[in-house]
Amino acid sequence: MQLFSLTRRHALAAALATGLAGMAHAQETTIKFQLDWRFEGPAAMFLVPVAKGYFKAEGLNVVVDAGNGSGGTVTRVASGAYDMGFADLAALMEFHANNPTAPNKPVAVMMVYNNTPAAVLALKKNGIKSPADLNGKKLGAPVFDAGRKSFPIFAKANNVNNVTWTSMDPPLRETMLVRGDIDAITGFGFTSILNLEARGVKAEEIVVLPYPQYGVKLYGNAIIAGEEFLKKNPDAVKRFLKAYSKGMKDVVADPAAAVLTVKERDGLINEKLELRRLKLALDATVLTPDAKAEGFGNALAPRLTLMASQVSDAFNTKERINPSTVWNGTFLPTDAERNIFAAAKK
């Protein structure tokens, strides 16, 4: 009896030690994460789970850094400088197709922007009200702009021809439109609308042609992870996505509070402006009928296959894109854990 008791005690002690060691190991898992852009309203989607300790509760030390474009995020994750990131799926597809032999190619593991935020924006005074009015017009955008690169898909869907392009750095895009140097621009709607207003343009003077409303069903930004990191830390990725989903419910439920986490990272932001930007991003890309039908975070094979074909053509990639190599949905949390729509205010 005494021997059994000692044996049992030793077993319990060993189990406890193993459990504590496992927890300690989990707490030591650091994930370097890069955003697609600066600390603006949409960054709250990643800063909230950090601020509320959701990542810590899952044994993760997540460090979130600002980015300077999806292309840069993809290459930095591929290089190993970052473990995970947030980037446009089209940019990820392009990297795969143009670098077929590159090691550590990133993989998308969770879809956040179910619909691309890309849009054509113009001023009413330029006489552009629909895609047909873009024929023969002068458009402008940075060469790496997602909307510009995927414009051939938009043009094909809407029979737009004879467009000429002017390139510029991002800060000059809306300025050149206001000055009349170009007739229209491409960009993320939730960014360019606010940039135009900041340059004195009234909301009612802006024409927005969102790609998803004009036949372009591209996915937008996704959470990506380096191939090697996925292989070595599959459970950490699962825990990351679980904590992230919990944070997204909070963002959806209270965007104003979420923006305060961005303010903590960049005290110079305009809270009111970034709250508008966050709400625009959520409405246009996250809380959409497509996302609700497919399930937040998920991506469907038919849409991925079509998008891969369209991006291959529009981006003129070296190789055709294989959608099965850029997406892996096996790390996603349960449907209930990803149901952010229940948190949305009616």
Residues 6+ apart with CB under 8 A from 5: none
Give the pLDDT confidence score for residue 346 in this predicted structure: 54
Each residue of 76-86: pLDDT tens digit? Answer: 999 999 999 99
Over pLDDT 90: what percentage of the chain? 90
Residue 217 in tokens: 């069903």
Nearest to 119 by CA among 46, 41, 194: 194
At 34 the three-state DSSP class reads strand
Helix intervals (H) in 28-159? 44-51, 54-57, 70-79, 89-98, 146-149, 151-158
Residue 17 has pLDDT above 50, yes or no: no
Tally of residues, the chain: 346
244-273: per-residue pLDDT in tens?
999 999 999 999 999 999 999 999 999 999
- Considering the chain, tell me which residue range(s) the CATH 3.40.190.10 domain(s) occupy: 28-115+219-343, 118-214
Joined tokens for residue 135: 């024929």
CATH top class, domain 28-115+219-343: alpha beta
Place of tokens 């709400």: 279
Structure-block tokens of residue 83:
């473990």
CATH code linked to domain 118-214: 3.40.190.10
Which residues, at least 6 apart from 220, have a Cβ–Cβ distance to it below 8 Å? 88, 89, 111, 112, 113, 114, 115, 116, 117, 118, 285
Burial classification of residue 240, based on how many CB atoms lie within 10 Å of its CB (0-12 exposed, 13-18 middle, 19 or more buried): buried
9 — pLDDT class (breaks 50, 70, 90): low
Contact call for residues 299 and 223 (beta carbons, < 8 A): no
Query: Looking at the predicted structure, is the pLDDT value of residue 4 above 60?
Result: no
End-to-end CA distance of the chain: 63
Per-residue pLDDT tens over the stretch 125-180? 999 999 999 999 999 999 989 999 999 999 999 999 999 999 999 999 999 999 99
